Amino acid sequence: MAAPVAKGDELELEVDSLAFGGNGVARLDGYVVFVRRGLPGDRVRARVTKVKRRHAEALATEVLRPGPERVDAPCAHFPACGGCRFQDLAYEAQLEQKHLQVRDALQRLAGIAEPPLEPILPCEPEIFHYRNKLEYSFTSTPEGPALGFHRAGRWDEVLEIERCWLTDELGNGIRGAIRAWAREEGLEPYSQADGSGYLRHLVVRQGRNTGQALVQLVTAPGERFETGYLVDVLRRFPEVRSIHWSINDTPSEVTNLPTRLLWGDGWIEEELCGLRVRVRPNAFLQTNTAMAERLYALAREAAGLTGDETVWDLYCGIGTIGLSLARDALTVWGIEVSEESVACALENAELNAITNAAFFAGNVGEVVEELLERSGPPGVVVVDPPRAGLAGKALRRLGRIGAPRLVYVSCNPTTLAGDIKALREEYGYELRRVTPVDMFPHTPHVECVALLERDG
Protein backbone atom coordinates (compact mmCIF):
# COMPACT_ATOMS: atom_id res chain seq x y z
CA MET A 1 0.00 0.00 0.00
CA ALA A 2 1.32 3.45 -0.88
CA ALA A 3 2.24 5.84 1.91
CA PRO A 4 -0.48 8.42 2.63
CA VAL A 5 2.02 11.32 2.42
CA ALA A 6 4.66 12.56 -0.01
CA LYS A 7 7.94 14.38 0.50
CA GLY A 8 7.33 18.12 0.79
CA ASP A 9 3.74 17.79 2.07
CA GLU A 10 2.67 20.25 4.78
CA LEU A 11 0.75 18.49 7.56
CA GLU A 12 -0.98 19.42 10.80
CA LEU A 13 -0.14 16.76 13.37
CA GLU A 14 -0.79 15.90 17.01
CA VAL A 15 2.36 14.62 18.72
CA ASP A 16 1.56 11.97 21.32
CA SER A 17 4.97 10.69 22.48
CA LEU A 18 8.71 10.68 21.86
CA ALA A 19 10.62 8.00 19.96
CA PHE A 20 14.04 6.76 20.98
CA GLY A 21 16.47 9.41 19.75
CA GLY A 22 14.18 12.34 20.49
CA ASN A 23 11.75 12.77 17.60
CA GLY A 24 8.07 13.27 18.31
CA VAL A 25 5.63 10.56 17.25
CA ALA A 26 2.42 11.47 15.40
CA ARG A 27 -0.04 9.27 13.51
CA LEU A 28 -2.19 9.61 10.40
CA ASP A 29 -4.78 6.82 10.50
CA GLY A 30 -2.16 4.51 11.99
CA TYR A 31 0.67 5.66 9.72
CA VAL A 32 3.56 6.89 11.89
CA VAL A 33 5.23 10.25 11.29
CA PHE A 34 8.39 11.03 13.28
CA VAL A 35 8.47 14.78 13.88
CA ARG A 36 11.72 16.55 14.64
CA ARG A 37 11.14 19.41 17.14
CA GLY A 38 7.73 18.00 18.06
CA LEU A 39 7.03 17.38 21.77
CA PRO A 40 4.27 15.32 23.43
CA GLY A 41 0.97 17.22 23.42
CA ASP A 42 2.02 19.64 20.67
CA ARG A 43 -0.11 20.38 17.65
CA VAL A 44 2.34 21.34 14.92
CA ARG A 45 2.57 22.23 11.28
CA ALA A 46 5.26 20.00 9.79
CA ARG A 47 6.95 19.50 6.43
CA VAL A 48 7.56 15.91 5.32
CA THR A 49 11.27 15.32 4.66
CA LYS A 50 11.41 11.56 4.04
CA VAL A 51 8.83 8.89 3.20
CA LYS A 52 9.05 5.14 3.74
CA ARG A 53 6.44 2.42 3.48
CA ARG A 54 5.83 2.15 7.23
CA HIS A 55 6.65 5.67 8.39
CA ALA A 56 7.62 9.17 7.36
CA GLU A 57 9.89 11.83 8.83
CA ALA A 58 8.94 15.49 9.14
CA LEU A 59 10.24 18.76 10.56
CA ALA A 60 7.96 20.88 12.72
CA THR A 61 7.93 24.35 11.16
CA GLU A 62 5.37 25.91 13.52
CA VAL A 63 3.91 25.03 16.91
CA LEU A 64 0.18 25.67 16.55
CA ARG A 65 -0.64 24.65 20.10
CA PRO A 66 2.13 23.87 22.60
CA GLY A 67 1.91 20.77 24.75
CA PRO A 68 1.70 21.13 28.54
CA GLU A 69 5.39 20.31 29.07
CA ARG A 70 6.85 22.70 26.50
CA VAL A 71 8.97 25.47 28.07
CA ASP A 72 11.11 28.35 26.82
CA ALA A 73 14.70 27.32 26.07
CA PRO A 74 17.29 29.57 27.78
CA CYS A 75 19.94 29.22 25.05
CA ALA A 76 19.93 31.81 22.26
CA HIS A 77 21.23 29.18 19.81
CA PHE A 78 18.41 26.69 20.39
CA PRO A 79 17.03 24.92 18.33
CA ALA A 80 19.44 25.68 15.47
CA CYS A 81 22.40 24.22 17.39
CA GLY A 82 22.72 20.45 17.34
CA GLY A 83 24.19 20.24 20.85
CA CYS A 84 20.84 20.02 22.69
CA ARG A 85 17.49 18.56 21.66
CA PHE A 86 15.28 19.09 24.71
CA GLN A 87 15.91 22.53 26.21
CA ASP A 88 12.26 23.27 25.39
CA LEU A 89 10.95 20.21 27.29
CA ALA A 90 10.42 20.54 31.06
CA TYR A 91 13.09 18.61 32.94
CA GLU A 92 10.66 16.32 34.77
CA ALA A 93 9.19 15.40 31.38
CA GLN A 94 12.69 14.66 30.04
CA LEU A 95 13.21 12.23 32.91
CA GLU A 96 9.85 10.58 32.33
CA GLN A 97 10.55 10.11 28.63
CA LYS A 98 13.97 8.59 29.24
CA HIS A 99 12.56 6.20 31.83
CA LEU A 100 9.83 5.16 29.38
CA GLN A 101 12.39 4.57 26.62
CA VAL A 102 14.47 2.28 28.84
CA ARG A 103 11.32 0.36 29.83
CA ASP A 104 10.26 0.05 26.19
CA ALA A 105 13.68 -1.27 25.15
CA LEU A 106 13.67 -3.90 27.89
CA GLN A 107 10.15 -5.01 27.03
CA ARG A 108 10.45 -4.94 23.26
CA LEU A 109 14.07 -5.97 22.69
CA ALA A 110 14.96 -7.99 25.80
CA GLY A 111 11.54 -9.66 25.90
CA ILE A 112 10.89 -8.91 29.59
CA ALA A 113 7.22 -8.08 30.17
CA GLU A 114 7.79 -6.55 33.62
CA PRO A 115 11.42 -5.44 33.76
CA PRO A 116 12.95 -4.78 37.20
CA LEU A 117 13.37 -1.08 36.46
CA GLU A 118 14.33 1.36 39.21
CA PRO A 119 13.38 5.08 39.19
CA ILE A 120 15.64 7.23 37.03
CA LEU A 121 18.42 9.08 38.85
CA PRO A 122 18.09 12.80 37.96
CA CYS A 123 21.06 15.00 37.12
CA GLU A 124 22.34 16.91 40.15
CA PRO A 125 23.38 19.43 41.33
CA GLU A 126 22.47 21.34 38.13
CA ILE A 127 21.06 20.54 34.70
CA PHE A 128 23.18 23.10 32.81
CA HIS A 129 26.96 23.73 32.71
CA TYR A 130 27.64 20.07 33.49
CA ARG A 131 30.04 18.96 30.73
CA ASN A 132 33.76 18.62 31.49
CA LYS A 133 34.67 18.21 27.80
CA LEU A 134 33.50 19.95 24.63
CA GLU A 135 34.73 19.69 21.05
CA TYR A 136 34.19 22.75 18.85
CA SER A 137 34.55 23.10 15.09
CA PHE A 138 35.99 26.18 13.39
CA THR A 139 33.88 27.96 10.79
CA SER A 140 34.13 31.08 8.62
CA THR A 141 32.01 34.18 9.27
CA PRO A 142 32.14 37.72 7.82
CA GLU A 143 33.97 38.77 11.01
CA GLY A 144 36.58 36.04 10.62
CA PRO A 145 37.13 32.59 12.14
CA ALA A 146 34.57 31.44 14.70
CA LEU A 147 33.89 28.34 16.79
CA GLY A 148 30.73 26.37 17.32
CA PHE A 149 28.79 23.16 16.76
CA HIS A 150 27.13 21.58 13.77
CA ARG A 151 23.65 22.83 13.01
CA ALA A 152 20.93 20.42 14.05
CA GLY A 153 20.63 17.70 11.43
CA ARG A 154 23.50 19.10 9.33
CA TRP A 155 27.07 17.83 9.17
CA ASP A 156 28.11 20.30 6.47
CA GLU A 157 27.41 23.51 8.39
CA VAL A 158 28.77 24.87 11.68
CA LEU A 159 26.83 27.36 13.80
CA GLU A 160 28.90 29.96 15.66
CA ILE A 161 28.32 29.82 19.43
CA GLU A 162 28.56 32.91 21.61
CA ARG A 163 27.65 31.18 24.87
CA CYS A 164 27.18 27.46 25.45
CA TRP A 165 24.95 26.43 28.35
CA LEU A 166 26.60 23.00 28.63
CA THR A 167 29.94 24.40 29.80
CA ASP A 168 30.86 27.00 32.42
CA GLU A 169 32.36 30.48 32.27
CA LEU A 170 35.89 29.08 31.98
CA GLY A 171 34.96 26.91 28.99
CA ASN A 172 33.19 29.79 27.28
CA GLY A 173 36.09 32.10 28.06
CA ILE A 174 38.70 29.78 26.55
CA ARG A 175 36.65 29.40 23.37
CA GLY A 176 36.30 33.18 23.10
CA ALA A 177 40.04 33.69 23.57
CA ILE A 178 40.87 31.18 20.82
CA ARG A 179 38.41 32.87 18.47
CA ALA A 180 40.09 36.24 19.08
CA TRP A 181 43.55 34.67 18.61
CA ALA A 182 42.52 33.05 15.30
CA ARG A 183 41.19 36.35 13.98
CA GLU A 184 44.29 38.24 15.09
CA GLU A 185 46.54 35.67 13.39
CA GLY A 186 44.46 35.72 10.19
CA LEU A 187 44.12 31.94 10.12
CA GLU A 188 41.53 30.36 7.83
CA PRO A 189 39.08 27.70 9.05
CA TYR A 190 39.22 24.34 7.31
CA SER A 191 36.56 23.66 4.67
CA GLN A 192 35.07 20.17 4.66
CA ALA A 193 33.77 20.82 1.14
CA ASP A 194 37.09 21.31 -0.65
CA GLY A 195 39.79 20.59 1.95
CA SER A 196 41.11 24.17 1.98
CA GLY A 197 41.91 26.13 5.12
CA TYR A 198 43.77 25.30 8.30
CA LEU A 199 41.93 25.51 11.65
CA ARG A 200 39.81 22.42 12.36
CA HIS A 201 38.82 21.83 15.99
CA LEU A 202 39.25 23.02 19.55
CA VAL A 203 38.91 20.60 22.47
CA VAL A 204 38.59 21.85 26.05
CA ARG A 205 38.71 19.38 28.96
CA GLN A 206 38.23 20.40 32.58
CA GLY A 207 38.82 18.84 35.95
CA ARG A 208 35.64 20.09 37.57
CA ASN A 209 36.76 19.17 41.09
CA THR A 210 40.36 20.37 40.68
CA GLY A 211 39.84 23.52 38.60
CA GLN A 212 42.36 22.38 35.97
CA ALA A 213 41.90 22.65 32.20
CA LEU A 214 43.49 21.02 29.14
CA VAL A 215 43.29 22.61 25.67
CA GLN A 216 43.90 20.82 22.36
CA LEU A 217 44.03 22.62 19.01
CA VAL A 218 43.53 20.53 15.86
CA THR A 219 44.72 21.89 12.49
CA ALA A 220 45.48 20.76 8.97
CA PRO A 221 49.18 19.98 8.27
CA GLY A 222 51.77 22.73 8.54
CA GLU A 223 52.89 25.12 11.27
CA ARG A 224 51.19 28.36 10.29
CA PHE A 225 51.17 30.00 13.71
CA GLU A 226 53.65 30.91 16.40
CA THR A 227 53.16 28.29 19.10
CA GLY A 228 54.63 30.49 21.82
CA TYR A 229 51.99 33.17 21.28
CA LEU A 230 49.17 30.60 21.43
CA VAL A 231 50.59 29.40 24.74
CA ASP A 232 50.72 33.00 26.00
CA VAL A 233 47.06 33.52 25.09
CA LEU A 234 45.95 30.39 26.94
CA ARG A 235 48.16 30.96 29.98
CA ARG A 236 46.09 34.05 30.73
CA PHE A 237 43.72 31.49 32.22
CA PRO A 238 45.41 30.22 35.41
CA GLU A 239 43.30 27.05 35.26
CA VAL A 240 44.97 25.93 32.00
CA ARG A 241 47.66 23.39 32.89
CA SER A 242 48.15 21.50 29.61
CA ILE A 243 48.23 22.76 25.98
CA HIS A 244 48.38 20.35 23.02
CA TRP A 245 48.44 20.58 19.23
CA SER A 246 47.27 17.85 16.85
CA ILE A 247 47.41 17.58 13.07
CA ASN A 248 44.62 15.94 11.08
CA ASP A 249 45.66 15.23 7.50
CA THR A 250 42.49 13.29 6.58
CA PRO A 251 38.99 14.45 5.56
CA SER A 252 37.51 12.81 8.68
CA GLU A 253 36.35 15.11 11.46
CA VAL A 254 38.21 13.50 14.34
CA THR A 255 40.04 14.82 17.40
CA ASN A 256 41.31 11.53 18.83
CA LEU A 257 44.77 12.09 17.37
CA PRO A 258 48.41 12.02 18.46
CA THR A 259 49.29 15.29 20.18
CA ARG A 260 52.35 17.49 20.51
CA LEU A 261 52.63 19.02 23.97
CA LEU A 262 53.16 22.78 23.62
CA TRP A 263 53.22 23.66 27.31
CA GLY A 264 52.58 22.26 30.77
CA ASP A 265 52.01 18.71 31.93
CA GLY A 266 50.78 16.09 29.49
CA TRP A 267 47.64 15.68 31.57
CA ILE A 268 45.25 17.33 33.97
CA GLU A 269 43.99 15.80 37.19
CA GLU A 270 40.45 15.22 38.42
CA GLU A 271 39.04 13.99 41.71
CA LEU A 272 36.12 11.59 41.86
CA CYS A 273 35.01 8.61 43.94
CA GLY A 274 37.73 9.38 46.48
CA LEU A 275 40.40 9.05 43.79
CA ARG A 276 42.75 11.52 42.15
CA VAL A 277 43.07 10.60 38.47
CA ARG A 278 45.10 11.86 35.54
CA VAL A 279 43.37 12.56 32.23
CA ARG A 280 45.30 12.87 28.96
CA PRO A 281 43.90 14.32 25.70
CA ASN A 282 42.64 11.05 24.20
CA ALA A 283 41.73 9.19 27.38
CA PHE A 284 38.10 8.42 28.17
CA LEU A 285 36.39 9.95 31.18
CA GLN A 286 32.64 10.40 31.62
CA THR A 287 31.85 13.96 30.55
CA ASN A 288 29.61 14.78 33.54
CA THR A 289 31.88 14.53 36.59
CA ALA A 290 29.23 14.94 39.28
CA MET A 291 26.95 12.29 37.77
CA ALA A 292 29.88 9.98 36.99
CA GLU A 293 30.41 9.71 40.75
CA ARG A 294 26.77 8.68 41.20
CA LEU A 295 26.95 6.27 38.26
CA TYR A 296 30.04 4.59 39.69
CA ALA A 297 28.45 4.44 43.15
CA LEU A 298 25.59 2.46 41.60
CA ALA A 299 28.11 0.13 39.97
CA ARG A 300 29.87 -0.39 43.32
CA GLU A 301 26.56 -1.16 45.01
CA ALA A 302 25.61 -3.63 42.27
CA ALA A 303 29.01 -5.35 42.50
CA GLY A 304 28.29 -6.19 46.16
CA LEU A 305 31.93 -6.86 47.00
CA THR A 306 33.00 -8.60 50.22
CA GLY A 307 36.78 -8.40 49.76
CA ASP A 308 37.29 -11.90 48.38
CA GLU A 309 36.35 -11.33 44.74
CA THR A 310 38.43 -11.21 41.60
CA VAL A 311 36.92 -8.32 39.60
CA TRP A 312 37.20 -7.72 35.87
CA ASP A 313 36.78 -4.12 34.70
CA LEU A 314 36.22 -4.39 30.94
CA TYR A 315 36.26 -1.35 28.65
CA CYS A 316 37.87 0.28 31.69
CA GLY A 317 38.92 3.66 30.25
CA ILE A 318 41.30 5.35 32.67
CA GLY A 319 40.39 2.85 35.39
CA THR A 320 37.94 4.88 37.45
CA ILE A 321 35.39 2.10 38.04
CA GLY A 322 37.98 -0.58 38.72
CA LEU A 323 40.06 1.59 41.03
CA SER A 324 36.97 2.63 42.98
CA LEU A 325 36.21 -1.10 43.47
CA ALA A 326 39.78 -2.11 44.35
CA ARG A 327 39.52 -1.15 48.02
CA ASP A 328 36.75 -3.76 48.48
CA ALA A 329 38.09 -6.48 46.13
CA LEU A 330 40.81 -9.10 46.24
CA THR A 331 42.13 -8.08 42.82
CA VAL A 332 40.98 -5.93 39.90
CA TRP A 333 41.93 -6.62 36.28
CA GLY A 334 41.14 -3.98 33.66
CA ILE A 335 41.06 -4.24 29.85
CA GLU A 336 40.82 -1.27 27.47
CA VAL A 337 41.57 -0.98 23.75
CA SER A 338 43.09 2.53 24.06
CA GLU A 339 46.74 2.35 25.04
CA GLU A 340 46.63 5.98 26.21
CA SER A 341 43.74 5.21 28.55
CA VAL A 342 45.57 2.16 29.91
CA ALA A 343 48.65 4.31 30.56
CA CYS A 344 46.40 6.67 32.54
CA ALA A 345 44.86 3.75 34.45
CA LEU A 346 48.30 2.47 35.47
CA GLU A 347 49.36 5.98 36.51
CA ASN A 348 46.14 6.39 38.46
CA ALA A 349 46.67 3.15 40.37
CA GLU A 350 50.14 4.34 41.37
CA LEU A 351 48.90 7.85 42.14
CA ASN A 352 46.36 6.41 44.59
CA ALA A 353 48.71 3.77 46.06
CA ILE A 354 46.45 0.96 44.83
CA THR A 355 48.50 -2.22 44.47
CA ASN A 356 45.82 -4.84 43.77
CA ALA A 357 44.78 -3.54 40.32
CA ALA A 358 46.37 -4.29 36.93
CA PHE A 359 45.43 -2.89 33.52
CA PHE A 360 46.16 -4.14 30.00
CA ALA A 361 45.59 -2.87 26.47
CA GLY A 362 43.60 -5.10 24.16
CA ASN A 363 40.32 -5.85 22.43
CA VAL A 364 37.99 -7.33 25.04
CA GLY A 365 36.66 -10.07 22.77
CA GLU A 366 40.19 -11.14 21.87
CA VAL A 367 41.87 -11.15 25.29
CA VAL A 368 39.34 -12.28 27.92
CA GLU A 369 40.41 -15.93 27.63
CA GLU A 370 44.04 -14.93 28.16
CA LEU A 371 42.89 -12.84 31.11
CA LEU A 372 41.10 -15.90 32.51
CA GLU A 373 44.40 -17.79 32.50
CA ARG A 374 46.13 -14.93 34.34
CA SER A 375 43.52 -14.03 36.93
CA GLY A 376 41.45 -17.16 37.38
CA PRO A 377 37.63 -17.09 37.23
CA PRO A 378 36.15 -13.68 38.06
CA GLY A 379 33.58 -13.30 40.82
CA VAL A 380 32.31 -10.03 39.37
CA VAL A 381 32.59 -8.65 35.84
CA VAL A 382 31.93 -4.96 35.19
CA VAL A 383 31.47 -3.90 31.56
CA ASP A 384 31.16 -0.33 30.26
CA PRO A 385 31.14 -0.82 26.46
CA PRO A 386 30.69 1.82 23.74
CA ARG A 387 27.26 2.57 22.25
CA ALA A 388 27.37 -0.53 20.05
CA GLY A 389 27.28 -2.69 23.19
CA LEU A 390 29.17 -5.94 23.70
CA ALA A 391 30.65 -7.19 20.45
CA GLY A 392 29.49 -10.68 19.51
CA LYS A 393 32.77 -12.36 20.41
CA ALA A 394 33.03 -10.51 23.73
CA LEU A 395 29.47 -11.42 24.70
CA ARG A 396 29.91 -15.09 23.76
CA ARG A 397 33.15 -15.47 25.67
CA LEU A 398 31.86 -13.65 28.74
CA GLY A 399 28.73 -15.79 28.61
CA ARG A 400 30.80 -18.98 28.54
CA ILE A 401 33.05 -17.79 31.37
CA GLY A 402 29.87 -17.22 33.38
CA ALA A 403 30.86 -14.92 36.25
CA PRO A 404 28.27 -15.13 39.05
CA ARG A 405 27.64 -11.38 38.90
CA LEU A 406 27.78 -9.08 35.88
CA VAL A 407 27.41 -5.30 36.24
CA TYR A 408 26.61 -3.68 32.89
CA VAL A 409 27.11 0.09 32.58
CA SER A 410 25.42 1.17 29.35
CA CYS A 411 25.13 4.36 27.31
CA ASN A 412 22.56 2.88 24.89
CA PRO A 413 19.34 1.21 26.14
CA THR A 414 18.71 -0.59 22.84
CA THR A 415 22.05 -2.41 22.73
CA LEU A 416 21.82 -3.03 26.49
CA ALA A 417 18.45 -4.71 25.97
CA GLY A 418 19.77 -6.85 23.11
CA ASP A 419 22.75 -7.98 25.17
CA ILE A 420 20.52 -8.73 28.18
CA LYS A 421 18.31 -10.90 25.95
CA ALA A 422 21.32 -12.95 24.82
CA LEU A 423 22.76 -13.26 28.33
CA ARG A 424 19.41 -14.47 29.69
CA GLU A 425 18.39 -16.82 26.91
CA GLU A 426 21.77 -18.27 25.94
CA TYR A 427 23.86 -18.15 29.12
CA GLY A 428 21.44 -18.48 32.03
CA TYR A 429 21.71 -14.99 33.54
CA GLU A 430 18.82 -13.34 35.35
CA LEU A 431 18.28 -9.59 35.27
CA ARG A 432 17.97 -8.31 38.84
CA ARG A 433 17.62 -4.58 38.27
CA VAL A 434 18.25 -1.70 35.89
CA THR A 435 18.73 1.87 37.09
CA PRO A 436 18.59 4.66 34.47
CA VAL A 437 20.86 7.65 35.12
CA ASP A 438 20.41 11.06 33.49
CA MET A 439 23.99 12.04 32.74
CA PHE A 440 23.10 14.38 29.86
CA PRO A 441 20.07 16.65 30.41
CA HIS A 442 18.50 18.24 27.31
CA THR A 443 19.72 15.38 25.10
CA PRO A 444 18.07 12.04 24.25
CA HIS A 445 20.93 10.10 25.84
CA VAL A 446 20.50 8.04 29.01
CA GLU A 447 22.93 5.82 30.90
CA CYS A 448 21.91 2.66 32.75
CA VAL A 449 23.44 0.38 35.37
CA ALA A 450 22.15 -3.19 35.12
CA LEU A 451 22.84 -6.10 37.47
CA LEU A 452 22.69 -9.64 36.10
CA GLU A 453 23.35 -12.77 38.16
CA ARG A 454 23.88 -16.41 37.32
CA ASP A 455 23.67 -19.38 39.69
CA GLY A 456 26.32 -22.05 39.75
Percent of residues, the chain, with pLDDT higher than 90:
94
pLDDT value, residue 3: 85
- Residues 285-314, mean pLDDT to the nearest whole number: 97
What per-residue string of b and e applies to 179-205 under the rule 16 or more CB within 10 Å gives b?
bebbeebebbbbebeeeebbbbbbbbb
pLDDT digit string, tens, across residues 81-111: 989 999 999 999 999 999 999 999 999 999 9
- Residues 298-307, mean pLDDT to the nearest whole number: 98
Q: Is 180 in a helix, a strand, or coil?
A: helix
pLDDT value, residue 282: 93
DSSP E strands: which ranges in 192-291?
199-207, 212-219, 240-247, 260-264, 268-272, 275-279
Cα separation, 129 vs 429, in Å, equals: 39
Which residue among the candidates 75, 84, 123, 411 is catalytic per the annotation? Answer: 411
pLDDT value, residue 2: 77
pLDDT digit string, tens, across residues 132-146: 999 999 999 999 999
pLDDT digit string, tens, across residues 147-163: 999 998 887 899 999 99
411 is catalytic: yes
pLDDT digit string, tens, across residues 309-357: 999 999 999 999 999 999 999 999 999 999 999 999 999 999 999 999 9
pLDDT digit string, tens, across residues 362-390: 999 999 999 999 999 999 999 999 999 99
Banded pLDDT at 456 (limits 50, 70, 90): low
Q: Is the dihedral of CA 291, 325, 133, 417 positive or negative?
A: negative
- Residues 181-193, mean pLDDT to the nearest whole number: 96
Banded pLDDT at 196 (limits 50, 70, 90): very high
Cα separation, 278 vs 258, in Å, equals: 17
What domains can be seen in the chain, in order of their start residue? 10-65 (2.40.50.140), 103-123+288-453 (3.40.50.150), 133-270 (2.40.50.1070)
DSSP 373-435: HHH-S-SEEEE---TT-S-HHHHHHHHHH--SEEEEEES-HHHHHHHHHHHHHHH--EEEEEE
pLDDT digit string, tens, across residues 245-273: 999 999 999 999 999 999 999 999 999 99
Amino acid at 220: A
Q: What is the pTM of this model?
A: 0.94
pLDDT value, residue 391: 84
Q: Is the dihedral of CA 28, 34, 40, 44 positive or negative?
A: negative
Banded pLDDT at 1 (limits 50, 70, 90): low
Q: How far is residue 447 from each of residues 125, 166, 199, 308, 439, measured CA to CA in Å?
A: 17, 18, 33, 29, 7
Percent of residues, the chain, with pLDDT higher than 70:
100
Torsion, Cα 285 288 290 292, to 10 degrees, reads -50
Parallel/antiparallel/unpaired status of strands 357-361 and 331-336: parallel
